Amino acid sequence: DTGVSQNPRHKITKRGQNVTFRCDPISEHNRLYWYRQTLGQGPEFLTYFQNEAQLEKSRLLSDRFSAERPKGSFSTLEIQRTEQGDSAMYLCASSWDRGYEQYFGPGTRLTVT
């Protein structure tokens, strides 16, 4: 297994545009998490999936954010009407189950101009 992958690695967009990121987790992992990280901070939890079910969302996840995990495989995170405050590194992680270590992908760096 090659680990968690994310695409694109970098995305530059203009304010007001929509963007979509993709995450492919480690194949045997049931849980998939999305985090956001800004400079000088640790990652902050956004949402997570158990197989295809989205079971928890953080208060950080405004209505402009939506995530899906069809068929319990890859996941997408969409941000609508991007704002400059959305500029951050978006990280995806997967784990076998609750309480087990999470393995992170390389992240998608979003810059909103």
Partner 1 sequence: EDQVTQSPEALRLQEGESSSLNCSYTVSGLRGLFWYRQDPGKGPEFLFTLYSAGEEKEKERLKATLTKKESFLHITAPKPEDSATYLCALTNYGGSQGNLIFGKGTKLSVKP
**Which residues of this protein are in contact with partner 1, per CB under 8 A?**
4, 6, 31, 33, 35, 40-45, 48, 50, 55-56, 58, 91, 93, 95, 97-107, 109
Q: How many CB atoms lie within 10 A of CB 66?
A: 15
Beta carbon nearer to partner 1, 79 or 93 = 93
Closest listed residue to residue 93, CA positions, set 37, 46, 35, 19: 35
Instruction: State how far the alpha carbon of 44 is from the alpha carbons of 27, 47, 58, 88, 100, in Å.
Output: 24, 10, 9, 11, 18
Name the minimum Å distance from CB 37 to partner 1.
9
The token pair that represents 94 in the structure block: 């997967």
Name the minimum Å distance from CB 58 to partner 1.
8
| Beta carbons of 96 and 31 less than 8 angstroms apart | yes
Beta carbon nearer to partner 1, 34 or 112 = 34
Beta carbon nearer to partner 1, 17 or 60 = 60
Name the minimum Å distance from CB 104 to partner 1.
4
